[in-house]
A and B are shown apart, each in its own frame.
Chain A
């Protein structure tokens, strides 16, 4: 039977000064994913290993980690795709809690700042009427499972300590901006409060997205263009000024 050579990052910052790696030998089963191997360790070899997982179906976005240096969902990464020598690290962009578990709750603070869905007023018995093609525009961004791998890989979030919200949150704002019934435009807000300008379009975020959301091209660049359009382009402002404003800018 094949064996997996699994090297796992270990540290409890409240106790340990330095991290170390433990290496485990895990039996391979056909079709196995990295989470299966890590859970094998946790259940059979070292029950003190801290991991976070939940659905094991790539639907909840809990088991994010860096597998051989690449941000991935452990539950969605097949062993036969990454090889039998595997190193698993926690996400580097977030404060460490223990071993593979990081503190991602800072993301809720950012989400709280983004102006919520602000729909058109409707009478009490009235319902929204929307076209499927209009719904489709927002749908891509709503596939986000909040695994925060895009935040993890983003070098602005990770290394520069700016106030950039990060890719996940631009996608969130875009999902609201593209809602057919929403009445506000968040691009200027993202530029002023969310550090949108810091993104220099290296497109790493869309490369790691397990939901295949084209984050940079479809969300970030769109928001950037609208922000620039609304803020700096005198010609566009002139034309827009004559046109009826569709959305309130926040």
Chain B
């Protein structure tokens, strides 16, 4: 008889092979543990690869006044005071160490004239702080970590493995069940500790800069296992995504363009950022610039294809090609536009989830014993608005921390038990989706993402949020009738059916949290509540409640006195 599934045992199971997952794997590997890294795509293709502009670390190589306290304050202030202070402190202090470590692993950063790591300006950062490799920093980071991973004897990577469920036993996480897509084979993972590093959920929106992978799988898996989510209403719109041609709508135009001097204009040739943000102009935080771009387009001062203009051509062809090579090629090849001569057309695009699984800052532990999380899927660092370059710092700093946290847990706990029935039930559930008579998940995904982009945009209001929620609930109702023809092997229709389940959880959490927050703070802007409200200096949390969701608020952890002095007090 053919076995229903293959069994794999390890000390630490890491779900996701982006920067956070790989850095966590290195930490557990350093401690001598047996590590399995599973990823939905191929090794080296994770969304980290898309990061362009750089990694924020206060080395002070270009601006010697920079140090961790300034970086710390920037995170808290631009996150509009709902960030977790301890996470901000850790990232500000540790990011330089992670950058130097990468360099010792073999990453090559651009240099200052005296041979040190070069740093560029980015929105919301007080000083020039982003260590970079042209405009392909993410690729350099992922390749460097990948080189480390493949040479480790105690790390196994299993790619194209889609995890469908976390398994619980004795009140803790005991492993996971996954479908090996390229073989159509079920796998059970028995692990002492599990790390979620699955990235974000940008693809629940129609217009997004995110890769195919970012469907909120980690949110869905952790939520179903009982984990607490936080700040789900905080979705970052990147101010500059491509708008034309339609096939690349939403594709990222790096903030590096503005960091290197790019200027935004409306169709009147007005540099409107002087109006919205006289001091910081194009380099204000992302929420500010995204709202300004949106407002200009809404006011009818947009471009032919519904964007605004971004100009870097005045810097000269040689400069542009050296500093922003992939932007040059991206526009040349996708849009037929030479950005050394012409202006780009750009508009806001969904880019990042600030919210996610609530974790302990010092270990990455969630509320479920044995379950850890780091990177975009985790929550707390970025508050209501993430600064550019802080996500790469986030994944490396907290990748290491979560790897160490999981290691500590794994070495002190026994291998948990398993409920054979639960495993078989999950396999039957997935198999049950494979038949030709149900609804096509892609059609439902299209309805869901359209509803999200139309109603849960940069500027929100009760009416539109309710429309989105109604749609989500209607699709949730239809979800049990979804199916995919074909078999278990490399069946994207089946994958879409599984992903849709997670997307529905993520979107419901986003929209219900957004309805719950009657104020405008950071990325969450309400037309009907345009002001920031001191009563809402708190975090919204969300967890499973039977078949539904329950919501609550928790106070933002108070910043200790010795750190408070670095931060400007909040003004209302």
Query: Which residues of chain A have a CB within 8 Å of any CB of chain B?
Result: 12, 14, 29-33, 36, 42-44, 47-62, 76, 78, 97-99, 101, 103-105, 108, 111-112, 116-117, 119, 122, 127-132, 135, 138-139, 142-146, 176, 179-180, 182, 212
Contacts and interface: CB of A to CB of B under 8 A. Distances in A.
B43 interface: yes
A101 B182 contact: yes
A54 B440 contact: no
Interface stretch (B20-28, B290-298, B391-399, B483-491): B483-491
Interface string B342-375: 0000000000000000000000000000000000
A30 B246 contact: yes
A36 B133 contact: no
Given A48-B485, A119-B104, A131-B111, A57 B50 contact: yes
Given A29-B247, A31-B244, A142-B140, A55 B151 contact: no
A104 B49 contact: no
A139 B111 CA distance: 12
Contact of B143 (A29, A53, A105, A142): A142
Contact of A111 (B108, B150, B446): B150
Given A49-B492, A61-B45, A54 B212 contact: yes
Contact of A56 (B43, B118, B211, B491): B211
A86 to B, nearest CB: 15
Contacts, number: 167
A247 B329 CA distance: 35
A145 B140 CA distance: 10
B134 interface: yes
A199 to B, nearest CB: 23
B150 A112 contact: yes
Interface string B77-121: 000000000000000000000001001111011110111111000
A182 to B, nearest CB: 8
B106 A117 contact: yes
B496 interface: yes
B418 interface: no
Contacts of B108: 130, 135, 138-139, 142, 179-180
Nearest to B59: A127
A109 B109 CA distance: 27
A59 B143 CA distance: 12
B213 interface: yes
A174 to B, nearest CB: 13
A58 B45 contact: no
B187 to A, nearest CB: 16
Contact of A98 (B139, B211, B247, B490): B490
Contact of B42 (A104, A138, A212): A104
A31 B47 contact: no
A142 B139 contact: yes
Given A101-B182, A139-B108, A179-B108, A47 B211 contact: no
Contact of B485 (A31, A47, A98, A139): A47
Contacts of B100: 127
A173 to B, nearest CB: 12
A105 B159 contact: yes
B442 interface: yes
Given A105-B159, A142-B133, A55 B49 contact: yes
A144 to B, nearest CB: 8
B330 to A, nearest CB: 7
B176 to A, nearest CB: 21
- Those 10 A-B pairs whose CB atoms lie nearest each other, nearest first: A31-B245, A47-B493, A48-B486, A117-B106, A129-B115, A50-B490, A43-B442, A60-B45, A132-B111, A98-B490
A104 B411 CA distance: 35
A212 B332 CA distance: 13
Contact of B139 (A32, A59, A99): A59
B3 interface: no
A119 B329 CA distance: 32
15 contacts: A12-B489, A31-B244, A31-B247, A31-B335, A47-B441, A47-B491, A47-B492, A50-B491, A52-B42, A55-B47, A99-B490, A130-B111, A131-B111, A142-B139, A146-B45
A55 B45 contact: yes
Interface string B183-198: 0000000000000000
A44 B143 contact: no
B440 to A, nearest CB: 6
Interface string B264-308: 000000000000000000000000000000000000000000000
A104 B43 CA distance: 10
Given A47-B492, A48-B486, A108-B150, 10 more contacts: A33-B247, A43-B440, A47-B442, A52-B41, A58-B329, A59-B326, A60-B45, A98-B490, A103-B182, A131-B111
A182 B110 CA distance: 17
A58 B103 contact: no
Contacts of B117: 127
Contacts of A145: 49, 139
Contacts of A212: 329
A14 B489 contact: yes
Contacts of A139: 108, 133-134
A103 B151 CA distance: 20
Given A14-B489, A127-B116, A142-B108, A57 B252 contact: yes
Contacts of A42: 442, 492-493
B524 interface: no
B103 A47 contact: no
A62 B45 contact: yes
Contact of B212 (A47, A53, A144): A53
A138 B117 CA distance: 16
Contacts of A108: 43, 150, 157
Contacts of A44: 442
Interface in B134-154: 134, 136, 139-140, 143, 147, 150-151
B211 A54 contact: yes
B44 interface: yes
A180 B108 CA distance: 9
A144 B460 CA distance: 41
